[in-house]
Amino acid sequence: MASATGILPHSTGKLSREEYRKQKDLDAARKAGTAPAAVDSEGKVINPHIPQYIAQAPWYLDTGAPSLAHQRIPEYDRSADKLDNWYDRGAKAGPAAKKYRKGACENCGAMTHKRQDCLERPRKRGAKYTGSDIAPDEVIQDVAAGYDAKRDRWNGYDPAEHKKVYEEYQAVEAARQKLREEEIDKQTTTDLAAVRKVAKAGKEKAEGEKKDDDFGSSDEDDEDADKYAESADAVGQKLDTKTRITVRNLRIREDTAKYLINLDPSSAYYDPKTRSMRDNPLMNVPPEEARFAGENFLRYSGEAADVQKLQLFAWQAASRGNDVHVTSNPTEGQLLHQQYQKAKEQLKDTTKVSILARYGGEEYLQKAPKELLQGQTEEYVEFSRTGQIVKGRERAKARSKYAEDVYINNHTSVWGSWYDLATSQWGYACCHSTVHISYCTGQAGIAATQASSAQNLLASSSEPSTSAVASGSTEPTISTSETSEDRRRKAESLFSKKRLGEGDLQLDESRLAEAIKSERKRKGRGGEDEYEWGTGKKKKGGDTHEVTEEELEAYRMNRRITEDPMANYVDKDL
105 is a domain residue: no
538 is a domain residue: no
Report pTM. Answer: 0.24
| 488 and 508 inside one domain | no
**Residue type at 487?**
R
Residue 136: per-residue pLDDT: 92
| 510 and 460 inside one domain | no
| 167 and 201 inside one domain | yes
- Structural Rg of the chain based on CA atoms: 58
C-beta of residue 554 within 8 angstroms of C-beta of residue 515? yes
| pLDDT tens-place values along the chain, 574 residues long | 444 444 444 444 678 999 999 999 999 999 999 999 999 888 889 999 999 899 889 988 888 888 898 998 877 666 655 656 667 777 888 889 999 999 999 999 999 999 999 999 999 999 999 989 999 999 888 776 677 777 878 877 778 888 999 999 999 999 999 998 888 887 655 556 666 666 666 666 655 555 544 444 455 555 555 555 555 554 444 445 555 555 555 566 777 888 888 888 888 899 888 888 888 888 888 877 888 888 887 777 778 888 889 999 999 999 988 888 888 888 999 999 999 999 999 999 999 999 999 898 888 888 777 666 766 667 788 888 888 888 888 777 777 777 777 888 889 888 888 888 878 889 999 998 888 888 898 888 888 888 877 777 666 655 554 444 444 444 444 444 557 777 777 776 665 655 555 556 678 888 888 888 888 888 877 655 544 554 545 555 545 567 888 888 888 888 766 667 776 777 776 5
| 469 and 520 inside one domain | no
Burial bucket for residue 470 (CB in 10 Å: 0-12, 13-18, 19+): exposed
Q: Note down the domain range covering 38.
A: 10-71
Residue 454: per-residue pLDDT: 72
| 508 and 478 inside one domain | no
CA distances from 104 to 117, 130, 231 (A): 12, 13, 38
57 is a domain residue: yes
| 208 and 192 inside one domain | yes
C-beta of residue 518 within 8 angstroms of C-beta of residue 533? yes
3-state secondary structure string across 238-284: CCCCCCCCCCCCCCCCCCCCHHHCCCCCCCCCCECCCCECCCCCCCC
C-beta of residue 219 within 8 angstroms of C-beta of residue 205? yes
The CB-side HSE value for 194 (13 A sphere, CA atoms) comes to 9
| 491 and 440 inside one domain | yes
Q: Domain ends where: 196, 224, 252? A: 224
Helices (H), 369-463: 370-374, 443-461
| 447 and 481 inside one domain | yes
In whole angstroms, give the CA distance from residue 279 to residue 264: 13
142 is a domain residue: no
264 is a domain residue: no
| 26 and 43 inside one domain | yes
* Pairing status of strand 382-383 against strand 418-420: unpaired
209 is a domain residue: yes
In whole angstroms, give the CA distance from residue 489 to residue 52: 128
Look at the chain and report how many structural domains it folds into: 4
| 461 and 507 inside one domain | no
Q: What are phi and psi of 440, to 5 degrees?
A: -75, 135
Q: Domain ends where: 28, 45, 71? A: 71
Residue 465: per-residue pLDDT: 45
Residue 3's closest CA among 60, 47, 42? 47
118 is a domain residue: no
In whole angstroms, give the CA distance from residue 15 to residue 347: 70
Say whether 305 sits in a helix, a strand or coil.
Answer: helix
| 518 and 459 inside one domain | no
18 is a domain residue: yes
Residue 6: per-residue pLDDT: 47
| 490 and 453 inside one domain | yes
